[in-house]
């Protein structure tokens, strides 16, 4: 089973639970459009290399496609299609006027010079330009892409259209129309969702512990904002290894250390552990914030956390979900828990369209309110149908999508 088929398992459970008609289900199961492009780049050594890129627009039923662009050596079309599908559902759960899209380039960006990376980025935009735009498809950062890369993309697209185009892309630097609060937004959303889950279980943040897998954008902000909320963060990790401290980390200090050294490994006062040990740690909240397929049938039984709050996209497989459910572990699913990033991307787009900018306090207040509302809606659906939070989140998404499809005459 490939990852796209795997991702549809909870969707199909939601479809069965809701007794959704087959036509509507088929529309959701298939991406509207996928594009593969070849991007030639003149390398610093004078040779030319051709890179493969993808853009998938899973749905534009509720609005323009929306979703990040990932640079990674393992990117493939199935992964991009899956991530685009999750974006459709995530935007619908968050109540945003967006569909879902995603892009990627097969590349290890650490192997490119800054000039090569810029040339690749501009070449990708040239190739996907016919299908993107502020009312068609709005890219954003994802793994290994950042505000600088969004800036090059915005500049290239503005050159192609001959006009200033801040609204065609989000996750930009403030100087070119970025939103205050965007960098921390996904991690903030993970923490808001985790705090709601703790509330349901009657656990005060001060009595909770957390383990966070991944210390990139999502993981580092999740960890820092857990600290701000009074949750004791006892384990952290990245691709190089994991660290533990029973007394809890000052995650802002760890962030400074990572900025200097490139990894959490070796942080003074920490004990080295493995990523596998981190996932099995006895904590209140486990936040997988690294990448997909981390909690599987092979290691789910070892998980001891009371709550899993998914910062990454697709960190838990359907087989693992069944095991976790049987163990009574509450999983706050990715399409709910990590929707904070796209929510503030939506705020960025709104601010770009109006050319009127909000304070960071306004952004945080609006984001928190939207995420709590989405959490409560999903939890209410879980109670109503007697399903887990993941299936409930798909039910919430499908309700919005089907209503719009019916009104638009699609089914
Ligand atoms: P990032 O590249 O900034 O960070 C990824 C982190 O994961 C790094 O610390 C890396 O070392 C670590 N990592 C990679 N492989 C690992 C492994 N096998 N074990 C442990 N750690 C590992 O990426 P990010 O933007 O933080 O995204 C992380 C996840 O969150 C992805 O699944 C992404 O799709 C998802 N996500 C990101 C955003 C966003 O706004 N950035 C929004 C929603 C979802």
**What per-residue confidence (pLDDT) applies to 345?**
97
């572990």: which residue's tokens? 329
What integer is the mean pLDDT of 79-84?
A: 95
Q: What is the dihedral of CA 411, 397, 72, 270, to 10 degrees?
A: -170
pLDDT digits (tens, 9 = 90+) for 124-166: 999 999 999 999 999 999 989 999 999 999 999 999 999 999 9
User: Is there a common fold for 30-169 and 185-332?
Assistant: yes
What CATH number belongs to 185-332? Answer: 3.40.50.720
Confidence at residue 203, expressed as pLDDT on a 0 to 100 scale:
98
Mutational pocket test of ligand 1: of 142, 257, 294, the residue with most ligand atoms within 8 Å of the beta carbon: 142
Q: Of 142, 135, 125, which is closest to residue 167 (Cα–Cα)?
A: 135
Q: What are the sequence ranges of the domains in the chain?
A: 30-169, 185-332
Asked if residue 69 lies in contact with residue 13, where contact means CB atoms within 8 angstroms, the answer is no
Taken as a whole, the chain contains a residue count of: 411
- Ligand 1 mutation target, pool 213, 219, 332, most atoms within 8 A of CB: 219
Distances (CA, A) of 271 to 223, 248, 260, 303, 304: 17, 12, 19, 20, 19
Domain 30-169 maps to which CATH number in 3.40.50.2300, 2.40.128.20, 3.40.50.10860, 3.10.20.30? 3.40.50.10860
Residue whose C-alpha is closest to residue 214's, from 206, 225, 204, 222: 222
Of 353, 358, 356, the C-alpha closest to 164 is 353
Question: Which residues lie closer than 8 Å to 236 by C-beta, 6 or more apart?
Answer: 211, 212, 215, 219, 223, 242, 243, 249, 251, 254, 264, 267, 278
pLDDT for position 2: 86
Cross-strand partners of 190: none
> What's the half-sphere exposure (Cβ side, CA atoms, 13 Å) at 326?
10
Torsion of CA 176, 180, 181, 186, to 10 degrees: -20
Per-residue model confidence as pLDDT tens digits over 282-337: 999 999 999 889 999 999 999 999 999 999 999 999 999 999 999 999 999 999 99
Q: Is 102 a catalytic residue?
A: yes
Three-state secondary structure along 210-237? EEEECCCHHHHHHHHHHHHHCCEEEEEE
pTM of the model: 0.95
pLDDT of 292 reads 87
Task: Tell me phi and psi for residue 269, to 5 degrees.
Answer: 85, 0
Catalytic-role residue among 81, 102, 224, 381: 102
pLDDT tens per residue, range 169-212: 999 999 999 999 999 999 999 999 999 999 999 999 999 999 99
pLDDT at 1 over 90: no
């Amino acid at each position: 089973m490939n990852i796209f088929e795997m991702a549809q398992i909870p969707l199909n459970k939601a479809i069965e639970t809701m007794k959704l008609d087959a036509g509507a289900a088929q529309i959701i199961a298939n991406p509207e459009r996928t594009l593969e492009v070849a991007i030639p780049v003149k390398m610093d050594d004078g040779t030319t290399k051709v890179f493969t890129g993808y853009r998938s627009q899973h749905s534009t039923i509720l609005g323009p496609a929306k979703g990040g662009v990932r640079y990674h050596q393992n990117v493939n079309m199935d992964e991009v299609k899956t991530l685009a599908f999750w974006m459709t559902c995530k935007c619908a759960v968050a109540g945003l006027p967006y569909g879902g899209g995603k892009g990627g380039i097969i590349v290890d960006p650490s192997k490119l010079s800054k000039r090569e990376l810029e040339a690749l980025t501009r070449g990708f935009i040239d190739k996907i330009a016919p299908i993107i735009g502020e009312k068609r498809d709005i890219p954003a950062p994802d793994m290994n892409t950042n505000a600088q890369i969004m800036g090059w993309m915005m500049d290239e697209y503005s050159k192609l259209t001959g006009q200033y185009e801040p609204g065609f892309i989000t996750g930009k630097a403030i100087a070119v129309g970025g939103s205050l609060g965007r960098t921390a937004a996904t991690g903030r959303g993970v923490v808001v969702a985790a705090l709601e889950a703790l509330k349901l279980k009657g656990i005060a943040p001060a009595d909770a512990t957390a383990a966070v897998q991944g210390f990139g954008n999502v993981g580092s902000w999740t960890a820092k904002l857990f600290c701000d909320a009074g949750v004791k963060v006892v384990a952290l990790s990245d691709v190089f290894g994991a660290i533990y401290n029973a007394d809890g980390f000052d995650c802002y200090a760890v962030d400074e250390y990572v900025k200097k050294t490139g990894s959490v490994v070796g942080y003074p006062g920490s004990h080295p552990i493995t990523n596998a040990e981190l996932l099995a740690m006895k904590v209140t909240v486990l936040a997988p914030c690294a990448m997909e397929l981390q909690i599987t049938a092979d290691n789910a039984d070892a998980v001891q956390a009371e709550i899993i709050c998914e910062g990454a996209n697709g960190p838990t497989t359907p087989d693992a979900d069944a095991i976790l459910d049987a163990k009574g572990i509450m999983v706050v699913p990715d399409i709910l828990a990590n929707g904070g990033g796209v929510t503030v991307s939506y705020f960025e787009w709104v601010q770009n369209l109006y050319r009127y900018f909000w304070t960071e306090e306004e952004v945080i207040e609006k984001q928190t309110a939207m995420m709590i509302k989405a959490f409560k809606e999903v939890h209410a659906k879980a109670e109503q149908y007697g399903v887990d939070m993941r299936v409930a989140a798909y039910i919430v998404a499908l309700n919005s999508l089907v209503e719009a499809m019916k009104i638009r005459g699609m089914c």
